[in-house]
Chain A
């Protein structure tokens, strides 16, 4: 019976009851429509003066309204305290954390120091906003991957089921074929009937056992192919016994030379060189129009002049022997090539 309009299920068999998480008073759908479609209004239950909105009415999940409320509170708490076991150094710390969280929840549920607890919770939320969001996204990621895995599993079982069915079908088919074959043979060939029948049966047995072995092998392969592991990343926090999370160093920009620099070592180029035959080129627009840059020319000239520095002939000479011997790989390759040639040579006819 609806406590607001007093209509009962007897009169209206498909009556649905809704509750609002504001006060958890139960009322039927039509009452909600009637009272709250004009905007927020006070709860019609006597003694409850809370203002309710229509949008927040929903069907009750649990039979026990206390549990319903508890779960709502838990949802709230869980969205703030969402740390995982990996975040803690020892199991005991994690357990202590769990207990503290449970205490917070307990206080909220049983209306003990609600103000104080809420305040603390909010403060904590402010403090750890970043970590909370990160753990959230981690959890979401995990949920997604779990879902994917589940779907994969479903698909695999479906396939396996289909395979099994096909196998059975095939086997039955083969059996009946073999039987037909034996009968045909008995009808057409002359000879000892018993021996023909025995022969046929043996062939059938052999075939079916070979098939079974093949199928088993195939299945083994499938099993190994399937099954991927997903790891999860941990995150850090400042509770008690927290694991110190080392932030990874920021990634450097990509260096195509792999650390090798083209900095000039032995000279530095100046902006201006007082060089007679260049002064003309510097001012002549015909040169600069073609994209000719005096500085480039200077750089090249200087590089030519200094490039011999840093080359030590003795080292080069002593290193020459090493460099000149062909590497192992090349010799091996050559050997193979040679062999092949030899083989070709041998295989004259």
Chain B
């Protein structure tokens, strides 16, 4: 399907388009034209990715400067999906245009997924693969080889050097499979092909971490130009990703390993002094000049990189007292000893970076400035020593990163030392959490560097929370609803049991037998009436385990057992994968199954229960976070003081985005249908925080039901859904072909003219529009905007 948005011709690889896709593309184009950031929420299963890609690719081809697209997604499977989508799109474009465009689209993932080396690729753990790969491909290994030493190298990597550096792979879109196959046939390394070709690509698809985690971003995404278009898909958790990428946990064990690492370094330095002293001397000479010069040696095989974002670090010279290798090693030893001493304390400590630094200086005479250079200095030293077994130094690197971060940021971070794992534990097992409180720190360089950043997901309500938390301003914030030819999902809020008593997972009442019985009743009833699969979400593992054992005692599980197979998610990912597989088999084979899982677990994000895999989702309780956690408390306080976000506001926002994620699991497209049950008294007041597309479908009459009412409503709904129905009925309503689109455009223009006339008549057209009110208003507004 070909159509125009304003002057831009968009080629859409499907014969029809959803109205919300069209609106989404229009808003995207406006954002790109204006050159700013935007937040867009579009229901899951309405083809976000394809609309994004087709618009941006069309935009790229028209624009003379050909801005690069960086598409970030969360999981490997989503990245692969996006690559396949892009490939289909480019194929369609070639067919339609009649010629092949000069275009490169590549995905990047870890070495583990892209390795071809016969022995390295058999390694199980990703970090081992990384380390072994580095030891085979590092620059100094090559130098050694040239000197005639006998070292092992990777053939696949070496072959790359024989090719033209800007044309390692022919143009086109390469999925991971395609890349691996091409690499195998040409005997070249797919990972480094992708890495090195990144500056020459039109579209790059990879994981968030390559852009957000400063440790990786520094290496991978440094050369990307300023005018790139950055897209974060499935970005509802982006603040947590940002925070995690800058938080570090240190344990006694990791400190012990770090000590071992330091001692190894020490030994290596002594060795090198006796054999190759001039190398150390030349490093020293470079450091005297400043890191900038030392940095020139840095290339993609460098081992670690600097997590601190400020540029001034690179321009300044390394402080004199850590310039010499042996001085630096002694410095690290002292720092680690200090941390060990701190770990001995038997009460909880929470302190700010400045107070930590003061104490550190009083005790060990470590100043702030050399501490800041710690990570960078370590990188340089490791490079000079030409270490190959880098994975041994991982804990040491962590400590150095910690040092650099704590000396760089005064605010937005907090140190929390928890000597005991739980409140009742008596044997200390201290963990030093260095936690980032401010999500804006990690993402700030992204917003500063790139002119257009698009943040999009299926569930982002309330939209203004994200700009607030991540400290950026938007050109457009928009939430789209789902146009449906028939009402294909039924959201319900069930705050009461059959006996009219309130049901809730609030802490004081959650273990009430009546609450548990009512939840059990809800489950059995829905197991009876739902065909195929049911997914049940609990707020936490702890609560789930408790309630399951209570249900067992009450005989509820025996009843459920008659209708459905019962499967449970566990924190262990392999067990869960097995449970999921069994669940799918059960759904394929007949009476179906019920999957009990946790709202913040693996199942709740990234696993789709489309069609018969999920006909009902029960959300038992509001999935609030564990509020007694010290880290969460600190973050809440930070949010309140810095961004004026109240504790309650944030907690409820966070709970509702997870709840919405869970609910969205069952509906993965327009011909899918499902029931969504929110079973908690507290959902009544949180109705406004649901994404708009759910809110719109949530009728007032379904917003306050008891269990038996919900059951009869669900029965009626399922009966309605079982009426034969074909996709033809959607045409013109929830899917548009070219004619419908033309009609819509004409109507829109008419509307526009009418509006202008009205405005001319009474000078206040916008006030008039307000009178539409409610949900209609938003549609009208969306149309107007488009």
Contacts and interface: CB of A to CB of B under 8 A. Distances in A.
Contacts of A64: 333, 337
Nearest to B318: A95
B641 A160 contact: yes
Interface stretch (B27-35, B320-328, B437-445): B320-328
B338 A92 contact: no
A236 B641 CA distance: 42
A98 B364 contact: no
A62 B341 contact: yes
Interface in B353-385: 354-355, 358, 363-365
Interface string B91-125: 00000000000000000000000000000000000
A92 B288 contact: yes
Interface in A58-75: 61-64, 67, 70-71, 74-75
A293 interface: no
Nearest to A78: B365
Contacts of B341: 61-63
Interface string A154-169: 0001001100100010
Q: Is the interface of A mostly helix, strand, loop or mixed?
A: helix
A99 interface: yes
Interface in B324-361: 324, 326-327, 330, 333-334, 337-338, 340-341, 354-355, 358
A277 B326 CA distance: 98
A150 B353 CA distance: 12
A96 to B, nearest CB: 6
A198 to B, nearest CB: 13
B319 A62 contact: no
Interface string B436-463: 0000000000000000000000000000
B334 A99 contact: no
Nearest to A95: B320
Contacts of B320: 94-100, 102
Nearest to A62: B337
B330 A146 contact: no
Contacts of B637: 161
A98 B640 CA distance: 42
B641 A71 contact: no
Interface residues of A, number: 32
Given A61-B341, A62-B341, A91-B316, A70 B334 contact: yes
Interface string B639-658: 01100101010000000000
A102 B328 CA distance: 10
B317 interface: yes
Contact of A101 (B288, B321, B324, B358): B321
Interface size class of B (residues with CB under 8 A): 20 to 34
A239 interface: no
Contacts of A62: 337-338, 340-341
Interface string A99-131: 111100010010000000000000000000000
B364 A74 contact: yes
B365 A75 contact: yes
B340 A71 contact: no
Interface in A209-239: 216, 219
Contacts of A78: 365
Given A99-B323, A216-B644, A71 B334 contact: yes
A160 B341 CA distance: 33
B339 to A, nearest CB: 10
A244 B648 CA distance: 58
A148 to B, nearest CB: 13
A146 B327 contact: no
Interface string A70-89: 11001100100000000000
A157 B641 CA distance: 9
A67 B334 contact: yes
A94 B365 CA distance: 17
B358 A102 contact: no
A92 B334 contact: no
Contacts of B646: 164, 168
A216 B646 CA distance: 13
B740 to A, nearest CB: 40
A49 B89 CA distance: 85
Contacts of B326: 106
Interface of A: 61-64, 67, 70-71, 74-75, 78, 91-92, 94-102, 106, 109, 146, 150, 157, 160-161, 164, 168, 216, 219
Given A62-B341, A102-B324, 11 more contacts: A71-B364, A78-B365, A99-B321, A99-B323, A100-B320, A102-B321, A146-B358, A150-B354, A150-B355, A161-B637, A168-B648
Closest 7 CB pairs of A and B: A98-B320, A95-B320, A99-B320, A102-B321, A67-B337, A98-B321, A74-B365
Interface of B: 288, 316-321, 323-324, 326-327, 330, 333-334, 337-338, 340-341, 354-355, 358, 363-365, 637, 640-641, 644, 646, 648
8 contacts: A62-B337, A63-B341, A67-B333, A71-B364, A95-B323, A102-B321, A102-B324, A150-B355
